[in-house]
Amino acid sequence: MKTKLSAGSKTLSALMVSAGILFAPATFGLAPVHAAAASVAGLPDFADMVEKVGPAVVNIRTTERRLLRDPNMPDEDEMQEFFRRFFGGQFPQPRRDGQQQRGQQRRAIPQQEQEVQRGVGSGFIISADGYVLTNAHVVAGADEVYVTLTDKREFKAKVLGSDTRTDVALLKIDGSKLPVLTMGDSNKIRVGEWVVAIGSPFNLENTVTAGIISAKARDTGEYLPLIQSDVAVNPGNSGGPLINMRGEVIGINSQIATLSGAYNGISFAVPIDEAMRVADQLKKSGKVTRGRIGVSISEVTRDVAESLGLKSARGAEVSMVEEGGPAAKAGVRAGDIVIKFNGRDIEKSGDLPRLVGNTAPNSRATITVWRQGQAVDLPLTVAELQSDEPEKGARGERGGKQKSESAANSLGLQVSDLSAADKKELGVTGGVRVDAAGGAAGAAGIRENDVLLQLNNTPITDAKQFQSLVIKLDPKKNAVLLVRRGDVARFLTLRPAPAAR
């Protein structure tokens, strides 16, 4: 029995260990599991770091003022309804022009102003004299902002400025010798390194969560490439710091990717280097000044790059040039591919607005575009980007149609020449108008009244020349057409139909 029991115990123990259930050796007479202990010893310990940096992380509470009438006093509409029901509607009606009826004084309904809570967020102190960083959306629309420290001291904060494009706001509280966080270098972060978020999710102050950096330079922000992590971030964490293992701030927690509104495994932070640049401007002037050149852009696809002779799908495709803007004055055209700005490569379209935005208004710059198979340098003067500047609407097409000069070709297009009035209106010297689009062109989204400006690297001058260019196309290769619709121009890829036999 002993032997049997011993064997059974070992078998049961082995099964339980294999199932991930570990027991103390004294219980079953087993050897200690050193591998598990070694694994636990290798995990990071955040306790000392959090104890050091935690006091500089703050809770931010925002309120708004609302006028509330005395709940014990009925309002005028309620009084009217009361008299209508019980006295046949004989209660005197108020004058619609706002004047008092003769011999009567309208009784003012007592009202009082009350401060009500609007939202909760997080932030962190960046200087001992009370400068605090948070997200712009945390304080947007607030009448009052209150900052609470971990020692329960509460301060009324002044919003020195906020920038919605980067979602950064700078606050000031009246304090001295306050705990401060150290700024890190967000350019030196590495994918896979451990990071910690501290904030007030669901108003649970000084909550600590940990994870790793999942990716760098995610293009989810208009002017900033954001840091992606798997640190748990929930409503209320916004504006709090993302901290590395050295206790340095590398980002401001700003966004989450979610279907439910709560944490779903992906969160984003504003890089602290960019945030501090914004904070410096907000401290000096209360606003952020950025450059602009007046273009609309889109990504360059692989097919477009190949057809235009670019070695790789990089740069920013110019889809529209603002009339009279810096780019237009420099000679930038719709269909140009911007490959450099001030000598810095444009790898993806999002790089261009960031580089331009960081350029001081009224300064000289050089934009390099890929046009008709070669790089062209164009000098320009950068203008100032106004806050929330609206995009210009597309202009309607004008001018009568010219007689069609071509039957449907291998691209499925029938086109006609532009009139002189059309060219003047569009600001072009050549091009053709689409009279009908079928086949490959129709499938690509080209439609009647679109204007074709370029085929591969060759500018289109008129319908006859366009037809001769189409005839020479290789049906085994994609072609790209620069198509203008209203004020916007885009390259579209299409494959010519093979010649009929």
Q: Using CA atoms, how far apart are residues 221 and 493, in angstroms rounded to an integer?
A: 28
**Would the pLDDT of 33 be above 50?**
no
The domain of 448 spans 413-494
pLDDT in tens, 123-181: 999 999 999 999 999 998 899 999 999 999 999 999 999 998 899 999 999 989 999 99
Query: Catalytic: which of 167, 303, 336, 487?
Result: 167
Could you tell me which residue, 169 or 94, shows the higher pLDDT? 169
Q: How confident is the model at residue 217 (pLDDT cuts 50, 70, 90)?
A: confident
Residue that terminates a domain, selected from 244, 259, 288: 288
Exposure string over 481-496, b if 16+ CB within 10 A, otherwise e: bbbbbbbebbbbbbbb
- For residues 282 and 464, which has the higher predicted lDDT (pLDDT)? 282
Q: What is the pLDDT of residues 374-425, one digit of tens each?
A: 999 999 999 998 765 433 332 333 334 444 444 567 788 888 888 888 888 8
Last residue within a domain, chosen from 253, 288, 323:
288
d(CA 159, CA 286): 9
Please state the pTM of the whole predicted model. Answer: 0.65
Residues 273 and 197 in one domain: yes
pLDDT at 44: 87
Q: What is the chain's mean pLDDT, rounded?
A: 81
Structurally, the chain folds into a number of domains equal to 4
pLDDT-based confidence at 22, cuts 50/70/90? very low
Q: What's the confidence (pLDDT) of residue 76?
A: 58
- Is the per-residue pLDDT at 221 higher than 80? no
Q: Verify that 129 and 22 share a domain, yes or no.
A: no
Q: Are residues 149 and 271 in the same domain?
A: yes
Whole-number Å distance between alpha carbons of 405 and 463: 6
285 tagged catalytic: no
Does residue 290 surpass a pLDDT of 70?
Answer: yes
Please check whether residues 28 and 55 belong to one and the same domain.
Answer: no
Residues 234 and 196 in one domain: yes
User: Does a structural domain hold residue 394?
Assistant: no
Residues 142 and 202 in one domain: yes
Domain CATH code at residue 259: 2.40.10.120
Residues 117 and 221 in one domain: yes
Three-state SS sequence of 22-57: CCCHHHHCCCCCHHHHHHHHCCCCCHHHHHHHHHHE
Is residue 397 domain-resident?
Answer: no
Catalytic residue among 137, 219, 230, 462: 137
Tokens of 399: 């001018």
Within a domain: 439: yes
- Please provide the DSSP assignment of 151-208 as one string: TS-EEEEEEEEEETTTTEEEEE-S-SS---PEE--GGG--TT-EEEEEE-GGG-TTEE
> Does a structural domain hold residue 243?
yes
Specify the CATH number for the domain of residue 467.
2.30.42.10
Q: Are residues 188 and 243 in the same domain?
A: yes
Report in angstroms the alpha-carbon separations of 467 from 172, 410, 413, 417, 492.
66, 9, 9, 12, 18
Are residues 301 and 234 part of one domain? no
Residue 267 catalytic?
Answer: no
Residues whose CB falls within 8 Å of the CB of residue 75, separated by 6 or more in sequence, listed in order: 69, 109
Is residue 238 part of the annotated active site? The answer reads: yes
For residue 464, the surrounding DSSP H or E stretch is helix 463-471
**From 186, 238, 254, 267, active-site residue:** 238
Q: How far apart are CA 317 and CA 414, in angstroms?
A: 26
pLDDT tens-digit map of 174-195: 989 999 999 999 999 999 999 9
Do residues 377 and 366 make contact, with C-beta atoms less than 8 angstroms apart? yes
At 82 the pLDDT is 52
- Whether 455 is in a domain gets the answer yes
